[in-house]
Structures are given as structure tokens and as C-alpha cells.
Amino acid sequence: MISRKRSEELFTTAKTYFPGGVNSPVRAFKSVGGTPLFIKKGDGCRITDEDGNTFIDFCLSWGPLLLGHNNSKIREKVWETIQNGTSFGAPTALENELADLILSNNRYLEKIRFVSSGTEAVMSAVRLARGFTGRDKILKFEGCYHGHVDSLLVKAGSGLVTFGNSSSAGVPKGLVNDTIVVPLNRIDLVEAAFQEFEGQIAAVIIEPIPANNGLLQVSKEFLFCLACKAKKHGALLIFDEVISGYRVGFEGAAGLYDIAPDIITYGKIIGGGFPVGAYGASKEIMSRVSPDGDVYQAGTLSGNPVAMSAGIAALTECLKPGFYEQLDQKTSRFVSRIEAHVAERNYPFRIFRIGSIFWLAFTKNDIRAAEEIDPAGMDKFRVLHAFLLDNGVYFGPSGYEVGFVSAAHTDEDLEFSAAKICEGLDLVYA
């Protein structure tokens, strides 16, 4: 076993400073057990912890690091910008530059607003939809995560079309009552919700590629019908592409499926590893955002020049010909290696994958809804996770989380990792 002495000491101290010793809950290793590793540095697809152990990383800061750690293009651009100061609270040319990169390469957006996190982007998009439609209710789907926005920390109740229950203490009942939760892939229930709350639903919000609760399979037909239903009933369709945006293609899931939502939210990759979020829509919808319109939204550090620079450098790489094709092929080869081993041994195990997002599932079944995930699989994930940590491969510390492949992972790195995952599965199913 590798030494975790320094991480253990740091975690003990961190617990005296932060709830659970962390600044975001999943980092605490609660669902896999053991001590979170304190990371000292990252380079390419590798991270090194405070004890000097190095790992091939498939967590990648939970998605933002499409180009891997410490990418030289991003580092140089950030360095160039930071020489001139870090924040002005006044417009900079860099904001125009990133907006131009985004808007001239996206068929679904005419205007955008930068914010500082995915949560902030979603929160603002929901307010905009409410302001634009003059309605209060939001329809969301069980199994989709949209950040820690009060209105969206709501999970399904007992019925099929229900007011949900809050999934966090501290969420006002009034907000919970304005959130309707429906299972994924059930367009009949979406229609039922629209009938029941005729004229009251401001927006339908969905992760078009739900990747925060496993990687749930949502059909293109369902998304297409969702767009039609929203239009028919005068509600806006919000694609929350905080995870899928710039991950499955430059135009995200909207481009992959060629479905035009009314509002799109971004985060993660858009900031190149810095805190950036964004929401965008047509000129008409965005004209309602202050100071043009009456929907208030602001941010002291919004459009921060250092963060914009990182975003510019990252998205410039994404636009290079073949970028996504290469990433897709590489991930496909990686997944196939593991699948071949699994098929040979006949393990009840699958890897779901879209582009460079993948999810290890301890089942033979299709998984199209959150409740189809067997919690017993999480015990198996715990064993696999521990084995991989001892063998130089780092996955996010929860079986409900997806893994990512970056442009920095080489075929060799992926071959090594696939072999370790196969060995780990042999242990899990021994």
C-alpha cells in the first residue's frame, strides 16, 4: 500500500477548518471511505498527491480539464494576462474575445452572459425564464443535477408527476412547490405535467446528457419531443450543458442532437480550469437581462480577465480540426479494451459512454433513469476505487460519478489504465 501519511495529516487539520474537511462534499471520500488525497500538482493526465504518489487522473477536476492538467497554452495565456492585473470590474477585450469564439461557432446562441460557476449560470437561467414567461413553475427531471440552486434541489416525491421533496434542508417550501419533478424519458408525464399546470410552467430544465448520476441514457427523440412540448405550452427549454458543453463537441449536446433549446447554460470546460459559467440564448430572450431588461443579474468577478484568458486558450484548442474526433476515438479504444475483458469473463458490468464521458456500471442492464441504478453496485465500486488508487489510477470518489478522458491522455496511458481496471474487476468479481 502506498503512503497517505501527509494527506491524512492534512485532512485531520482540514476537518478543523471546513465542514467534513472539504469545500465541496463529494471530495470527502464519504462514499468510498478512506482519506481524500490532497493534490499537490497536476501535469497532463497525471496528478501527484502530497505524499508524492502519482496517478493517471480520470476525474479531471470533475470535468473542466478537457486538455488535462497544467496545459501550456492555457498557462501561457493566463500568465500573459495576469501580468496586467487580475480584476477591474470594468469591461475588458478578453470578454469580447471569448464571447466571439463561442457565438461565432454555435448555431443556438446569439448572446451570452458570463458568470462565475455552473450553479450561478443555472440560477440565472431559471430567473431569466421566469422573467421572460411571467410564470413561476419549473419542470425538472429526476436524476439530473443542476448545481445547488434552491429551486432545483428537489427530488421526486411519491407520485409520478409530483411536487418533489427538497433534497437539502434550508430550501423554502414555496420554492419546492414551484418545482415539478418527472422521470426521464417519459414524454407522456411531461405532457401530463403541462396539462395539470397549464400556463404556469416557465421552463423545462434538463441535462441533455445526464452525467451527474451515472451516465443516464436519454433518447434524442425524447429531447426532441421535449422541445416541442415546451414550445406548445409556452415554456422555455433550458439545456443545462455545464458538463456536456464543449465536452461532446463544440456545440455540446444541442449540436450533437441538433436540437435548439431556448437557453443554454455552461460551466466547467468553458473556463479552462478557472471559475467561469455562462448562460446564453437568442437576442430576444437575452434582451430581458439587466441592464437591457428587467431580469436582474450581476457579478463582481464576472468575466474575470484571467479566467477569460484560460477559457479562450481552452476553446481555441477545441476548435482545431479533428479535436473531438480524436478524443472520441481514443476513449472508444480505451472502453473497448475493458469491454473485451468483461465479455470474456462474462462479468455483469457495463461502461456507458458518450464522447469522452464514461461511466462504470456494475450491471448488465440499460440504465435510463436514476432509480434503475442498483445501490449494491456502489459496494463494488468502492473495492475497484481502492484497488485503482493503490495502482496509480485516480477516479472521482463515488460510483455515481462519471469519468473523463482528456486530450492529454495518450493511448499508452489509457492502455495502462484499462489493464488496471480489468485487474480491479477481476478482484471485484473474484
Under the rule (CB under 6 A), what is the footprint of ligand PLP?
117-119, 122, 145-147, 207, 212, 240, 242-243, 267-268
Nearest approach in angstroms of CB 212 to ligand PLP is 5
Residue 11 in contact with residue 386, Cβ under 8 Å?
Answer: no
Q: Is the dihedral of CA 310, 43, 245, 289 positive or negative?
A: negative
CB of 49 or CB of 240, closer to ligand PLP: 240
Query: Nearest residue to ligand PLP, using CB?
Result: 118
- Which entry of 229, 268, 330, 380 is annotated as an active-site residue? 268
Nearest approach in angstroms of CB 243 to ligand PLP is 3
Q: Is the dihedral of CA 128, 132, 134, 136 positive or negative?
A: negative
CA atoms within a 13 Å half-sphere pointing along the CA-CB vector of 81? 23
Please tell me the distance from the alpha carbon of residue 205 to that of residue 21, in angstroms, as a whole number: 32
CB of 153 or CB of 414, closer to ligand PLP: 153
- In whole angstroms, how far apart are CA 167 and each of 161, 268, 305, 364, 424? 17, 23, 35, 29, 33
- DSSP H helical ranges for 319-429: 323-345, 377-390, 411-428
Nearest approach in angstroms of CB 266 to ligand PLP is 9
CB of 7 or CB of 124, closer to ligand PLP: 124
Q: What strands, in cross-sheet order, belong to the sheet with 201-206?
A: 111-115, 277-281, 263-266, 236-240, 201-206, 137-141, 179-182, 162-163
Nearest approach in angstroms of CB 207 to ligand PLP is 5
Q: For this structure, is 268 an active site residue?
A: yes
- Which entry of 240, 246, 330, 394 is annotated as an active-site residue? 240
Strands (DSSP E) along 162-207, which ranges?
Answer: 162-163, 165-166, 179-182, 201-206
Strand 403-404 with 357-361, pairing: antiparallel
CB of 4 or CB of 268, closer to ligand PLP: 268
CB of 164 or CB of 396, closer to ligand PLP: 396
Residue 94 in contact with residue 311, Cβ under 8 Å?
Answer: no
The amino acid sitting at 410 is: T
- Which entry of 49, 108, 145, 400 is annotated as an active-site residue? 145
Chain position carrying cell 421533496:
165
Residue 338 in contact with residue 423, Cβ under 8 Å?
Answer: no
CB of 352 or CB of 387, closer to ligand PLP: 352
CB of 118 or CB of 377, closer to ligand PLP: 118
- In whole angstroms, how far apart are CA 51 and each of 9, 70, 207? 11, 20, 37
103 three-class SS: helix
Nearest approach in angstroms of CB 57 to ligand PLP is 17
Nearest approach in angstroms of CB 157 to ligand PLP is 22
Q: For this structure, is 240 an active site residue?
A: yes
Please tell me the distance from the alpha carbon of residue 88 to that of residue 353, in angstroms, as a whole number: 41
Nearest approach in angstroms of CB 408 to ligand PLP is 21
Catalytic residue numbers, as ranges: 145, 240, 268
